[in-house]
Amino acid sequence: MSVRFEIYDDKIKVTDLISVQAVDRSYFGKEVNGKKIHLELSPEEALYLIDVRKAECEKDGKPQSFNQVAGQFQGPKFLARYYCFRDWRDRGLIVRPINEAKGNYNRSPMEKYPAAETKTPHVKAKGLFFYDDLMSVIDENEEGNALYENHWFGQFGTYKAKKHGQFLKLDAYETVFLARHGKYKLNVLTKKIEEQAVSRRPDFMELYDVYEDWRLRGFVPKTGFKFGTHFRLYFPGAKPTQETGQWMHSRHVVHVFPRSAKMLISEWARAIRVAHGVKKTFILAIPGAKNAHHYDEHNGKSETKNNKAIILSSPRLASGSGQLDFLLYHRKGADIENPRHDSPTFVMLALSEEEEIGGEELASAIQQSKQMGLDLMLAICDRETAVTYYRVKRIDLPKSKYEYYEIEWVQP
Q: Which of 274, 310, 317, 336 is the binder for its own copies (CB under 8 A)?
A: 274
Q: Which of 114, 159, 189, 331 is the binder for its own copies (CB under 8 A)?
A: 159
Q: Which of 209, 303, 355, 408 is the binder for its own copies (CB under 8 A)?
A: 355
- Beta carbon of residue 161, minimum distance to its own copies (angstroms, whole number): 9
CA distances to 208, 260, 268 from 203, rounded to whole Å, are 9, 9, 16
User: Does position 336 bind its own copies by CB under 8 A?
Assistant: no
**64 touches 133 (CB < 8 A):** no
User: Does position 222 bind its own copies by CB under 8 A?
Assistant: yes
Q: Rounded to an integer, what distance in angstroms lies between the CA atom of residue 187 and that of residue 209?
A: 23
User: Does position 72 bind its own copies by CB under 8 A?
Assistant: no
Amino acid present at 69: V
Q: State which residue, 111 or 149, has the beta carbon closest to its own copies.
A: 149
User: Does position 249 bind its own copies by CB under 8 A?
Assistant: no
Angle between helices 78-90 and 66-73 (to 10 degrees): 120
User: Does position 339 bind its own copies by CB under 8 A?
Assistant: no
Count of positions on this chain that bind its own copies (CB under 8 A): 72
Phi, psi at residue 287, to the nearest 5°? -75, 170
Nearest-CA neighbor of 10 among 48, 33, 43, 38?
43
Q: State which residue, 111 or 355, has the beta carbon closest to its own copies.
A: 355
User: Does position 195 bind its own copies by CB under 8 A?
Assistant: no
- Beta carbon of residue 202, minimum distance to its own copies (angstroms, whole number): 11
User: Does position 86 bind its own copies by CB under 8 A?
Assistant: yes
Q: Among residue numbers 276 through 315, which ones bind its own copies (CB under 8 A)?
A: 277-278
User: Does position 192 bind its own copies by CB under 8 A?
Assistant: no
User: Which of 113-121, 126-134, 282-290, 333-341 is the region at the interface with its own copies (rule: CB under 8 A)?
Assistant: 126-134
User: Does position 56 bind its own copies by CB under 8 A?
Assistant: no
User: Does position 256 bind its own copies by CB under 8 A?
Assistant: no
User: Does position 187 bind its own copies by CB under 8 A?
Assistant: yes
Q: Rounded to an integer, what distance in angstroms lies between the CA atom of residue 20 and that of residue 329?
A: 22
**351 touches 389 (CB < 8 A):** no
User: Does position 134 bind its own copies by CB under 8 A?
Assistant: yes
User: Does position 164 bind its own copies by CB under 8 A?
Assistant: yes
Site track 379-398 with its own copies (rule: CB under 8 A), x = hit: -x-xxxxx-x----------
User: Does position 32 bind its own copies by CB under 8 A?
Assistant: no
Burial of 107 (0-12, 13-18, 19+ CB in 10 A): middle
Q: Where are the alpha helices (DSSP H) in 265-305?
A: 265-277, 292-298
Nearest-CA neighbor of 374 among 392, 401, 387?
392
User: Which of 16-24, 92-100, 167-175, 285-293 is the region at the interface with its own copies (rule: CB under 8 A)?
Assistant: 167-175
